[in-house]
Amino acid sequence: MTTRVFIPRDTAARSVGADGVASSLTIHTRDRSLDVTIVRTGSRGLLWLEPLVEVETDAGRIAYGPVAPGDIPALLDADFLTGGEHPLRHGPTDEIPYLAGQQRHMFARVGVIDPLSVADHRANGGLVALERALAMAPKDVVAQVTASGLRGRGGAGFPTGIKWQTVLDTPGDLKFICCNADEGDSGTYADRMLMEGDPFLLIEGMVIAAHAVGASEGFIYIRSEYPAAVETMRAAILAAERDGWLGAGILGTDLRFTLQVRVGAGAYICGEETSMLESLEGKRGQIRPKPPLPAIEGLFGKPTVVNNVLSLASVPDILTNGAEAYQALGLGRSRGTQVFQLGGNVARGGIVELAFGVTLRTLVEEYGGGTRTGRPIRAVQVGGPLGAYLPTTQFDLPMDYEAFAEAGAMIGHGGIVIFDETVDMAKQARFAMEFCAEESCGKCTPCRVGSVRGVEVIDRIIRNEDRYANLTLLEDLCEVMTDGSLCAMGGLTPMPVRSAVRHFGEDFERPVAAPTSGGQA
């Protein structure tokens, strides 16, 4: 009888050698005439254990990791194909504390199933939500999503149901569903992992959205830095079409919805929804002023739903288990679960899906286990390059949109990047401005010019030229950018800058170091 062994094909796992492990296992099991079937899955999200290899046994799936190609002979000697003891063994995967304590909804199947197997999708709860949605009137589907309290996972946290209702209510013979998979924020990788690990979940969410608002065409806009996600989504679209739930006559109904992947071209700003629409239209990714809202005049001027990957991937769970079950999770007006992503200088980096309300401390200390370097944590940046830097004194903040906003911070897309005590926060503030200058679309002056001036002002502060006058000037500049920019790029770049000044002021008052050769070192 063949033994099934699961090895991730996720980009993160492959970046630390999962392909080498798979070939090593193939070679050594062939040499020993062992009957093994290797299934390439997504990643369970326990990234510090990658490559994580799981073996299917009578006692469930047993995890070993991190496995190097050279470990395979010793693992086979230890009978790991039947779950044998070995220093790399972690026991049943589902019982690993990091995983056991999570509330996996969106990520329930990522790392478990074969991402491109339609049979796996159906056998693991797939299409239940779509069938249920198709039996409902569109307005009832929208009502379910509204009742769930689902808010957009891209960062802004706008209620998804209200957006859908607007598109449903706007007359039009052509409407679009656009999935924003331009996940450019540093420290975020959940969209990528979901697309690589459970692409059918996203497609199912998009088909439900199409039925709910009356859309006939959809696009998934994926950044070009994610080639594996592009390949997986394209293959999944073809498979869903062949399986009869994408294209014409979906699951035997009149619903027709076609879907295609579009690839970005290396512009961070295209993660902003109107900029993404411009890019999809084949133009420079310059943002559009709002109004008009994309829900009314979106892609090619037509009513358009623009949702993040995780928002759309939340929808099947809501339809399957009901809006009440979803609504029961969370804190305040932040309902359901969020996929938090631990990154940077972290001992145990990975995916932690939990209901809103969990504290930053629990995520960073209990799950993350502190820094990889072993030095004390000095700062964490939450919500990507436009999010605030927070000191350890803020670690009791609950993960909740409103609580974070009140603290001058944001949850954004749920990325948490950890820095140890060696970080220079004046340099990080400078980088925030530098990044904005590099990535600004150029449409509005506060962002395009303000960011360049911001770099210059911070340089003068670091060099101790009229330091206090320049700190005042920096605050003025931040105010202008926040209030005067058209979109979040210029509007939020001041957030990391101001938070660095506010919480780590001492880094802006350091004695000037002896001249170096210049640039980063």
Partner 1 sequence: MPTGVRQQSETWSEDRVLAIATAHKDERGPLLPILHEIVATFGYVDARCVPVVAEVLNLSRAEVHGVITFYRDFRTTPGGAVDLRICRAEACQSVGANELLADAKRRFGVATGETTADGRLTLDEVFCLGDCALGPAVMIDREVHGRMDGERLATLVAQAVAQAVADAPTETTAR
Sites of contact with partner 1 (CB under 8 A): 9, 11-12, 14-16, 19, 22, 40, 47-48, 50, 183-189, 192-193, 217, 224-227, 262-268, 279-286, 300, 341-346, 349-350, 372-373, 381, 385, 415, 417-420, 423, 428, 431, 435, 438-439, 519-521
Least spacing, CB of residue 273 vs partner 1, in Å: 15
Q: Between residues 22 and 339, which has the closer beta carbon with respect to partner 1?
A: 22
**Do 148 and 356 form a contact (C-beta atoms < 8 A)?**
no
Tell me whether strands 337-344 and 350-355 are parallel, antiparallel or unpaired.
antiparallel
- Name the residue nearer to partner 1 (CB basis): 41 or 144: 41
> Is 489 in contact with 439 (CB distance < 8 Å)?
yes
Least Cβ distance, residue 145 to partner 1 (angstroms): 26
Structural contact between residues 245 and 129, judged by C-beta atoms closer than 8 angstroms: no
Query: Do 460 and 466 contact (CB within 8 A), yes or no?
Result: yes
Min dist. Cβ of residue 87 to partner 1 (A): 20
Q: What are phi and psi of 123, to 5 degrees?
A: -75, -15
- For the chain, the C-alpha Rg in angstroms (whole number) is 24
Least CB distance to partner 1 at residue 333 (A): 28
Task: Pick between residue 373 and residue 472 the one whose CB is nearest to partner 1.
Answer: 373
Output the six-digit token pair for 317: 């769970």
Q: How far is the CB of 125 from partner 1 (least distance, A)?
A: 26
**Contact between residue 42 and residue 97 where contact means Cβ atoms under 8 Å apart:** no
In the complex, least distance from residue 79 CB atom to partner 1, rounded to whole angstroms: 27
Q: What residues pair up with 350 in beta bridges, in sequence order?
A: 46, 342
Which has the closest alpha carbon to 322: 126, 149, 100?
Answer: 149
Cβ-based nearer residue to partner 1, 42 or 285: 285
Q: Which is nearer to partner 1, 32 or 284 (CB)?
A: 284
Q: Rounded to whole angstroms, how far apart are CA atoms 388 and 299?
A: 32
Specify whether the CB–CB gap between 364 and 411 falls below 8 A: no
For residue 334, give every residue at least 6 positions away whose Cβ sits within 8 Å of its Cβ, in sequence order, or none. Answer: 151, 157, 356, 357, 399, 400, 401, 402, 411
Query: Cβ of residue 457: shortest distance to partner 1, in angstroms?
Result: 20
Q: Which is closer to partner 1, CB of 135 or CB of 265?
A: 265
Q: What angle do CA 10, 15, 21 make, to 5 degrees?
A: 80
Whether 116 and 236 have beta carbons less than 8 Å apart is answered as yes
Cβ-based nearer residue to partner 1, 140 or 438: 438
Q: Which residues of 408-423 are buried (b: 16+ CB within 10 A; e: fewer)?
A: ebbbbbbbbbbbbeeb
Which residue, 19 or 114, has its beta carbon nearer to partner 1?
19
Work out how close the CB of 178 gets to partner 1 at its nearest, in angstroms, rounded to a whole number.
Answer: 11
CB of 169 to partner 1, least distance (A): 24
Q: Between 438 and 466, whose beta carbon lies closer to partner 1?
A: 438
Least CB distance to partner 1 at residue 500 (A): 12
DSSP summary character for residue 101: T
How many other CB atoms are there within 10 angstroms of residue 362's CB atom? 19
Smallest distance from partner 1 to CB 264, Å? 8
DSSP 30-73: HHTT--EEEEEE---SBGGGPSPEEEEETTEEEEE-SPPGGGHH
Query: Which residue number, 188 or 470, has a Cβ lying nearer to partner 1?
Result: 188
Q: Which is nearer to partner 1, 60 or 370 (CB)?
A: 370
350: left (phi over 0), alpha (psi -120 to 50) or beta: left
